[in-house]
Amino acid sequence: MNHASRFHKYLLLPLTVILMFGVLGSDCDPGSDSTHSVTAPNTPTGPSEGDTGESLEYETGGSACSRDHDVEYRFDWGDESTSSWGSPNQSMIFSSPGAYSVKAQARCAIKTDITSEWSAGKDVTISDHIISTPSTPTGPSTGETDQSLGFSSGGSACSQGHSVEYRFDWGDGDTSSWSSLSSRSRSYSSAGTYLVKALARCATNTGIVSSWSAGKSVTITESFFGTMTGNDGKTYQTIKIGNQWWMMENLKETKYRNGDAIPNVTDDTEWAGLSTGARCAYNNSESTANTYGYLYNWFAVKDSRNLAPSGWRVPTDEDWKELEIFLGMIQSEADNLGWRGTDEGGKLKEEGTIHWNSPNTGATNESGFTSLPGGYRCNDNGYFVYLRECATFWSVAEYSTDSAWLRGLYYNISGVCRSRDYKRLGFSVRLIRD
């Protein structure tokens, strides 16, 4: 009896497992797909008309999976193309005019071969919207680095009668912004040959763009000379030395960048007691200043209203070192105090003795800096000294509460002096470009 009951129990166990599997494993039963379905999505909504090249967005939804799985959607655009499966919101750009019927379909996101019927179609009419290619830009075929060059294009039209905008590809990896102007300016920082092209777009539907125009070739050569406009409107000659742009003249400005006047202090005692910005002409002679520029105390150099015009600044101590090293000084020597170098000062001084006293040792002006000996004004008594003998230039770098870094050149020395001196002294100023 016990054997029979055990045998009977083991016979019932497989049957129980089979019955359980039949219930619990029904989702895995290949024969059950007949009970798995996805309802058709809604008719797509979106624009009923548009233009070729325009991005149009359509939306559908409303589908459900009989097993509560997520659903995915795709669109039939009516031009023999379909979107990929994904979001119920998708966009389309039609390339040809005509009438199209946009439909949607859904599928189970888990069992992706379970798909719905296609929805009803959304009728869309596409009109031809094109922008004609702009003309080849006109402008100079040659130029120099940092020179502003003007280029013009035009001739584009929108098939819908809208206004057009233009942009330029400058051929150096940069493009202009879009603008209603068909003429733009460009300056190149590096020598080379560049191909300038133009593009147009519809100003109303900015996604409608033309093809690029043919290119205008422009060859840029390295420029070492330029100009700077000061706060007073005066134009100064400038030169590129190494990677730096420097003034070739001593500064002669009466205003800060914001338009405030820089006080012209002529009284010796008043000058010696200053702790605010001031300027003067050597011996208070404007005719002398026309050649040698003004002398400024350090407070004017450091004033937050800016002695330099926009894009320029008073050099730092490190800026002066970079210049000296480019001219041949080694770093350890440039870091020293006092007279340093061999002929670097000569390379900075104007040649001859028209403005410098004889012998103007070592002066070659090889750099083009064209240093002029404007002398200086003393800090303790306001006296003027050493016109034609020495050129002293401020640095914006402060050394202590009452002194700052400077550079000096002398008529009978070919090196360069690096020193720090009282802020109330009146020195010449040369600016460097940002």
Q: Domain coordinates of the chain in residue numbers?
A: 37-127, 142-221, 226-433
CB 373 within 8 A of CB 411: yes
pLDDT at 128: 87
Q: What mean pLDDT is predicted for residues 246-269?
A: 98
**Phi and psi torsions of 332, nearest 5°:** -60, -35
pLDDT at 53: 80
CB 432 within 8 A of CB 313: yes
CATH architecture of 37-127: Sandwich (2.60)
Cα–Cα distance for residue pair 231/307, rounded to 1 Å:
8
Computed over every residue of the chain, the mean pLDDT equals 93
Q: Are strands 49-51 and 122-127 parallel, antiparallel or unpaired?
A: parallel
Q: What percent of the chain has pLDDT over 90?
A: 88
State yes or no: pLDDT of 85 exceeds 90: yes
CB 60 within 8 A of CB 138: no
Q: What mean pLDDT is predicted for residues 248-253?
A: 98
Q: What mean pLDDT is predicted for residues 250-268?
A: 98
Task: Tell which residue, 379, 383, 378, 381, has the closest CA to residue 283.
Answer: 383
Enclosing H/E stretch for 419: strand 416-422
Cα–Cα distance for residue pair 104/113, rounded to 1 Å:
16
Q: What is the DSSP code string of 243-297?
A: TEEEESS----SB-TTS-B--B---HHHHHT--S--EE-GGG-HHHHHHH--EE-
Q: What share of the chain is helix, strand, coil (3-state, %, to 5)?
A: 15, 35, 50
Q: How confident is the model at residue 331 (pLDDT cuts 50, 70, 90)?
A: very high
* Residue indicated by tokens 């440039």: 334
Residue 143 CA from chain centroid, whole number: 22
Q: What is the DSSP code string of 386-397?
A: -TTTEEEEEEEE
Cα–Cα distance for residue pair 313/253, rounded to 1 Å:
13
Q: What percent of the chain has pLDDT over 70?
A: 93
Per residue in 382-402, pLDDT tens? 999 999 999 999 999 999 999
Per residue in 286-301, pLDDT tens? 999 999 999 999 999 9
> Reduced to 3 states, what is the DSSP secondary structure of residue 183?
strand
Taking the CA atoms of the chain, what radius of gyration do you get in angstroms?
40
Tokens in use for 293? Answer: 């520029």
Q: How confident is the model at residue 5 (pLDDT cuts 50, 70, 90)?
A: very low
What homologous superfamily is domain 142-221 in, according to CATH? Immunoglobulins (2.60.40.10)
